[in-house]
Amino acid sequence: MRATAFDTIGGMTVLAVLLFINAAFNFVVWPQFFKRVVGDPRAKDAQGRATAFLRVHVVLISIALVIALISVIAGIAALVGAL
């Protein structure tokens, strides 16, 4: 059987690097986006209460950050051979 490039480079190392890049991107981008959403006039109504606009974005950003955390955990698992 012929070895593929994935096997030669170390497939799990490549996987781990991709997962860490994904996590880093999410941890950098989404908090900055959250700051913009909170500052948006649509985020609060006239009484200062959170609107659906803010709640939806908080949920979406939270999900993205949870996925980033899962990516870090999976990347570590790939490096230590737990996958």
DSSP string, the chain: -PPPHHHHHTHHHHHHHHHHHHHHHHHHHHHHHHHHHHHSGGGB-TTSPBPHHHHHHHHHHHHHHHHHHHHHHHHHHHHHT--
Structure tokens at 79: 């490096």
Are the C-beta atoms of 74 and 66 separated by less than 8 Å? no
Predicted structure pTM score: 0.81
Are the C-beta atoms of 1 and 64 separated by less than 8 Å? no
Q: What percent of the chain has pLDDT over 90?
A: 76
| pLDDT of amino acid 11 | 82
Give per-residue pLDDT as tens, 23-40: 999 999 999 999 999 999
